[in-house]
């Protein structure tokens, strides 16, 4: 007895079981095999603090679709997984846990704190991996890596020392993003810009030596005035040309500062005069570099005013702002205050407004390193899908600034720089070469730099560090460069650019040849999902309710590279309904197959419908392969969805049912039908598999118990011998006839179970022969009690309903469709109802009071109703006349 599918599709019964089977059988595992062509995707490493969200679900579903497709095509497909240590996110979590115990990280000390961090990683770090498995991710978990494992840490040290020795890494005083609460520098990726209601304070700066003459500036951060070292004007601004080179008296401080000319200043914005605070603004810093201005930092690490702030020292930045504005007003230097909404950078972890601050940090000099990354786009070694994102990539590279890579954290890769506490000498070296004594003064008092590296520093090496670099491994030689990177458009600069320049700097190659960019998953109102809005949807909740396949199908349906998508629960239900359709159709086919072995029919035994569906699945394989190769995954899945639901289930299965029911009397046609059903279903399941892996595996292995797994089956290829254009065209014509009959029956409100005689008048004898030969295929579909095919109108009553089609006219005797008395009664009732509605609507529209007082939209609504009622009345009267 062959295995059977359950009566109803229940994803909970199959998904965990099948995933366990795949893992046990090592289907995801890839090893070097020189007889096969490699195909590699490196997984963007989720944070160990992370929990699966819709962005992860989309990103990993797209990767899984590609890797399953390539695996079925015969590639040695490696999907390299792993997790990121997420320095700041993890440290914040551990600090919060310590707070519950009444401890700080300083109470523990660095060593004990790091022990806690590793314990935390062991306890929670695997959570997101188990969640990725729930959506069917077929990554090679045997190769799972971690950005702080031994191999990745070795790569990080190698790169740091190499770039330092080559002069690309340096320590300097430059502007960085500073979080006053976490007290660390943070990357641009961790800064969220939000629109805040603020003020524009207009302040007069006295011109030195010119009593009563001032320069008016406008600022959103008056507290930074304490660190001003110049005021800048545009050199082309006629209003201020005479001021260039003069000195101003800095209000509240009394220090003299110069007026400098710089094209950075927008003449049209504000007053055209800009206060320059090089230590607290990235643009001002650049101006300061050009004019050799001093850096005066006025803030402590906790954003209180430091010793450079005079009487405001020790005040919180906002407390100081309030006092300074009051003092400026008292001195008559506050001109006015305007409301001003502007974008303010906040730390995505704690929500604190970040401070741009010039601090001594470690940087990577980017200008030279960025050049090969630009060239990669120009020479085609790297391409974006969609292509327009290469402009975004190039724009960021053109404006690239030196990268701050140090963080004031304990969790992460500690910077491999060592200092002599006696003479201050610095040595940069790998751990195994760490100095025991100072090479300059021979002191034994050596300490390592307490800072750690930006998380992006290690993840920039991810495509090659995970494959064994800096060692020359077989994996690296075979699987690298990788083929595709799948990621969101929001981290092109933060991650993609850094991986590309790192790939060229350390391997001489681009780390991947294609970057597939996807959009964000938004809520049903088009809003970004966020904790603050409370509109996030948990993918695990969707899986629990509808199954992983339904979630995956929802995420990829209609998905176009680079475009955002909206999440609707109704779409998940539609996806689940499709899964039910596939399940029930497969179950019907298997029930009819029974235990008998079907044999390959001769070409002569195949009917027109058989050839049509074979031609359809053949064309589908060709088109889907083209779509998949162009990364048009949304288009590909729509094609297989439409084919299975419409062509296969709603048409072909219905067409062949009469042959299946006559299996005993006519075994040869039934065998052909069953062979086609089994063949087309198995090929369609393969084409659907990358998108819906669980249900396709369960059905495929039940349909073909001799097959081990659909995962390792061959992707369907186009067959020349299955190209049946003539038969395909004939069935399309039949389908159009059936659709036309159904549409006319719907228009006339004919119950679905009421059968009627159908007379087809063909345009010529050949068409009549075709329609006659195939009528058993479409009689039931057309709800026909009988079908008569002829070439003239002989015996057709003038009252018969006519339907004009491409190569024929179809007639249905009216009395076959309609119970005249009942229909007349129904139409008379409808006419009476419409008469009342028309009278009411016309009455309202002739009422001057209504027309003058009602809103314009309400009047238009009534006019639209009147037009609709008049049209319906015409139809009712026409039908009554026909009766």
DSSP 781: T
Per-residue pLDDT at 1: 36
Instruction: Judge residue 406's burial from the number of C-beta atoms within 10 Å of its C-beta, 0-12 exposed, 13-18 middle, 19 or more buried.
Output: buried
pLDDT at 823 over 80: no
**For range 363-392, the mean pLDDT:** 94
**Which domain, by its residues, includes 872?**
821-882
Domain end: 356, 376, 393, which one? 356
Q: Rounded to a whole number, what is the distance in angstroms from the first to the last CA of the chain?
A: 58
Instruction: Say if residue 776 is in the same domain as residue 692.
Output: no
The CA distance from 502 to 379, in Å, is 18
One domain, residues 697 and 739: no
Does the pLDDT at position 351 exceed 80?
Answer: no
Q: Which residues are annotated as a binding site for ATP?
A: 531
Q: CATH code at 620?
A: 1.10.730.10
- Read off the pLDDT band of 58 (50, 70, 90): very high
Whole-number pLDDT of residue 876: 81
569 and 676 belong to one structural domain: yes
SS3 call for 425: coil
Select from 331, 356, 381 the last residue of a domain.
356
Q: Do both 828 and 813 map to the same domain?
A: no
Residue 417 within a domain? no
Percent of the chain with pLDDT over 70: 99
Kindly report the CATH number assigned to the domain that includes residue 300.
3.90.740.10
Q: Is the pLDDT of residue 320 over 60?
A: yes
Residue 148 confidence class, pLDDT cut points 50, 70, 90: very high
In a domain, 289, yes or no: yes
Residue 342 has pLDDT above 80, yes or no: no
Residue 754 covered by a domain: yes
| Mean pLDDT computed over 18-29 | 97
The pair of three-digit structure tokens given for residue 303, joined into one six-digit string = 């954003």
CA diameter of the chain = 118
Residue 2's DSSP bridge partners are: none
**Is residue 398 one of the residues assigned to a domain?**
no
CATH number of the domain within which 843 lies: 1.10.287
Q: Are 678 and 610 in contact (CB under 8 A)?
A: no
Q: pLDDT tens, 711-740? A: 999 999 999 999 999 999 999 999 999 999
pLDDT at residue 743 is higher than 60: yes
Least confident of 552-566, 659-673, 866-880: 866-880
In this prediction, what percent of the chain has a pLDDT beyond 90? Answer: 67
- Beta strand pairing call for 756-762 and 808-812: antiparallel
Q: State whether 193 and 310 are in the same domain.
A: yes
Per the rule left: phi > 0, alpha: psi between -120 and 50, beta: everything else, 631 is left
50 pLDDT more than 80 = no
Average pLDDT, the chain: 91
Asked whether residue 747 carries a pLDDT value surpassing 70, the answer given is yes
Helix pair angle (548-556, 569-593), 10° resolution: 120
Comparing 328-342, 425-439, 440-454, which segment has the lowest mean pLDDT? 328-342
Residue range 687-700, pLDDT digits in tens = 999 999 999 999 99
* 597 band by pLDDT with thresholds 50, 70 and 90: confident
Q: Are residues 830 and 802 in the same domain?
A: no
pLDDT tens readout for residues 206-264: 999 888 899 999 998 999 999 999 999 999 998 999 999 999 999 999 999 999 999 99
What are the CA-CA distances from residue 174 to residues 283, 365, 396, 684 (Å)?
Answer: 11, 12, 19, 59
Alpha helices of 708-785 — where are they, by DSSP H?
Answer: 725-747, 765-778
Phi-psi domain of 303 (left: phi exceeds 0; alpha: psi -120 through 50; beta: other):
left
Residue 687 located in a structural domain: yes
* Pick from 417, 498, 487: nearest CA to 452: 417
Residues, the chain: 883
For the residues 3-21, what does the mean pLDDT come to? 92
DSSP state for residue 316 in the 8-state scheme: B
More confident residue, 450 or 819: 450
Do 572 and 640 fall into the same domain?
yes
837 and 808 in a single domain? The answer is: no
174 or 340, which is more confident: 174
CA distances from 505 to 45, 364, 496, 617, 819 (A): 21, 12, 14, 47, 83
User: Given a cut of 80, is residue 187 above it in pLDDT?
Assistant: no
Within a domain: 493: no
Q: What is the pLDDT of residues 287-308, one digit of tens each?
A: 999 999 999 999 998 989 999 9
Domain count, the chain: 4
Residue 582 sits in the same domain as residue 659 = yes
> Tell me, what CATH number does 791's domain have?
3.30.2320
User: Of 329, 356, 383, at which residue does a domain stop?
Assistant: 356
Give domain status of residue 665, yes or no: yes
User: Average pLDDT, stretch 776-800?
Assistant: 88
d(CA 274, CA 277): 9
Residues 700 and 761 in one domain: no
What number is the average pLDDT over the span 77-95? 92
pLDDT band at 819 (very low <50, low <70, confident <90, very high): low
Give residue-wise pLDDT tens across range 561-589.
888 888 889 999 999 999 999 999 999 99
Q: Using an 8 Å Cβ cutoff, are 62 and 518 in contact?
A: yes
Place of tokens 């055209």: 272
Are residues 756 and 866 located together in one domain of the fold?
Answer: no
Q: In this structure, what DSSP letter does residue 660 have?
A: H
The more confident residue out of 491 and 143 is 143
The CA R_g of the chain, rounded to the nearest whole Å, is 37
Q: CA-to-CA distance for 757 and 795, rounded, in angstroms?
A: 13
- The Cα 88–Cα 781 span in angstroms is 64
Positions at the binding site: 531
**Is residue 773 located within the same domain as residue 655?**
no
Rounded to an integer, what distance in angstroms lies between the CA atom of residue 137 and that of residue 59?
11
Dihedral sign for Cα 525, 530, 532, 536, please: positive
SS3 847: coil
- The verdict on residue 790 lying in a domain is yes
């Amino acid at each position: 007895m062959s295995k059977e599918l359950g009566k109803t599709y229940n994803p909970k019964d199959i998904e965990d079981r099948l995933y366990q089977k795949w893992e046990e059988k090592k289907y995801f595992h890839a090893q070097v095999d020189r007889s096969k062509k490699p195909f590699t995707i490196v997984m963007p490493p989720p944070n160990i603090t992370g929990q699966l969200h819709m962005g992860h679900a989309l990103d990993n579903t797209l990767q899984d679709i590609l890797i399953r497709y390539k695996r079925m095509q015969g590639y040695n497909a490696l999907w390299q997984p792993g997790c990121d240590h997420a320095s700041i996110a993890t440290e914040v979590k551990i600090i919060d846990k310590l707070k519950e115990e009444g401890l700080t990280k300083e109470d523990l000390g660095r060593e004990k704190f790091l022990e806690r961090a590793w314990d935390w990683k062991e306890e929670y770090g695997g959570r997101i991996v188990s969640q990725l498995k729930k959506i069917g991710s077929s990554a090679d978990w045997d190769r799972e890596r971690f950005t702080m494992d031994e191999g990745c840490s070795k790569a990080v040290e190698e790169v740091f020392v190499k770039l330092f020795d080559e002069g690309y890494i340096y320590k300097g005083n430059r502007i960085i993003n500073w979080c006053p609460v976490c007290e660390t520098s943070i990357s641009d990726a961790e800064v969220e810009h939000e629109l805040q209601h603020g003020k524009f304070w207009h302040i007069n700066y006295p011109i030195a030596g010119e009593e009563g003459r001032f320069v008016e500036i406008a600022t959103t951060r008056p507290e930074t005035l304490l660190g001003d070292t110049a005021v800048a004007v545009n050199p082309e601004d006629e209003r201020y040309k005479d001021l260039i080179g003069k000195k101003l008296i800095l209000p509240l401080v009394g220090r003299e500062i110069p007026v400098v000319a710089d094209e950075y200043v927008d003449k049209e914005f504000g007053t055209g005069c800009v206060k320059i605070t090089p230590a607290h603004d990235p643009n001002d810093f650049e101006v300061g570099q050009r004019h050799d201005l001093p850096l005066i930092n006025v803030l402590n690490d906790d954003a209180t005013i430091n010793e450079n702030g005079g009487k405001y020292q020790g005040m919180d930045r906002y407390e100081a702002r309030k006092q300074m504005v009051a003092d400026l007003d008292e001195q008559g230097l506050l001109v006015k205050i305007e409301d001003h909404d502007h974008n303010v950078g906040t730390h995505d972890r704690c929500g604190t407004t970040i401070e741009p601050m010039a601090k001594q940090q470690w940087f990577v000099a980017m200008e030279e390193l960025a050049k090969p990354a630009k060239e990669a786009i120009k020479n085609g070694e790297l391409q974006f899908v969609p292509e327009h994102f290469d402009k975004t990539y190039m724009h960021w590279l053109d404006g690239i600034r030196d990268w701050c890579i140090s963080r004031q954290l304990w969790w992460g890769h500690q910077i491999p720089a060592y200092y002599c506490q006696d003479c201050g000498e610095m040595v940069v070296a790998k751990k195994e070469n760490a100095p025991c004594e100072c090479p300059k003064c021979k002191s034994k008092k050596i300490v390592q730099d307490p800072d750690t590296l930006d998380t992006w520093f290690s993840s920039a090496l991810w495509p090659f560090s995970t494959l064994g670099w800096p060692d020359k491994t077989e994996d690296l030689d075979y699987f690298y460069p990788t083929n595709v990177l799948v990621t969101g458009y929001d981290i092109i600069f933060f991650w993609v650019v850094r991986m590309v320049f790192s790939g060229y700097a350390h391997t001489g190659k681009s780390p991947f040849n294609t970057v597939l960019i996807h959009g964000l998953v938004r809520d049903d109102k088009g809003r970004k999902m966020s904790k603050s809005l409370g509109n996030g949807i948990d993918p695990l909740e969707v899986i629990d309710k509808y199954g992983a396949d339904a979630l995956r199908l929802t995420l990829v349906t209609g998905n176009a590279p680079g475009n955002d998508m909206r999440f609707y629960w109704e779409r998940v239900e539609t996806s689940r309904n499709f899964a039910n359709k596939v399940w029930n159709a497969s179950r019907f086919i298997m029930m009819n197959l029974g235990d008998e072995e079907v044999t390959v029919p001769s070409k002569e035994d195949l009917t027109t419908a058989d050839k049509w569906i074979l031609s359809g699945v053949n064309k589908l394989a060709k088109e889907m392969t083209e779509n998949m190769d162009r990364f048009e995954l949304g288009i590909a899945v729509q094609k297989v969805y439409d084919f299975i639901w419409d062509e296969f289930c709603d048409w072909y299965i219905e067409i062949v049912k009469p042959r299946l029911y006559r299996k005993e009397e006519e075994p040869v046609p039934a065998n052909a039908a069953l062979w086609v059903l089994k063949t087309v279903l198995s090929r369609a399941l393969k084409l659907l598999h990358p998108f819906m892996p669980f249900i396709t595996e369960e059905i495929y292995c039940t349909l073909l118990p001799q097959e081990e797994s659909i995962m390792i089956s061959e992707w369907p290829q186009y067959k020349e011998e299955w190209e049946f254009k003539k038969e395909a065209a004939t069935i399309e014509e039949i389908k159009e006839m059936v659709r036309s009959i159904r549409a006319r029956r719907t228009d006339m409100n004919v119950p679905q179970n009421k059968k009627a005689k159908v007379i087809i008048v063909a345009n010529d004898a050949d068409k009549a022969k075709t329609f006659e030969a195939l009528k058993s295929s479409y009689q039931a579909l057309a709800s026909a009690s009988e079908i008569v095919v002829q070439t003239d109108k002989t015996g057709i009553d003038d009252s018969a309903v006519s339907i004009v089609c491409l190569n024929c006219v179809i007639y249905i005797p009216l009395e076959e469709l309609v119970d005249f008395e009942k229909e007349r009664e129904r139409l008379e009732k409808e006419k009476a109802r419409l008469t009342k509605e028309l009278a009411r609507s016309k009455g309202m529209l002739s009422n001057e009071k209504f027309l003058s007082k009602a809103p314009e939209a309400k009047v238009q609504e009534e006019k639209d109703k009147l037009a609709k009622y008049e049209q319906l009345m015409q139809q009712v009267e026409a039908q009554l006349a026909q009766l």
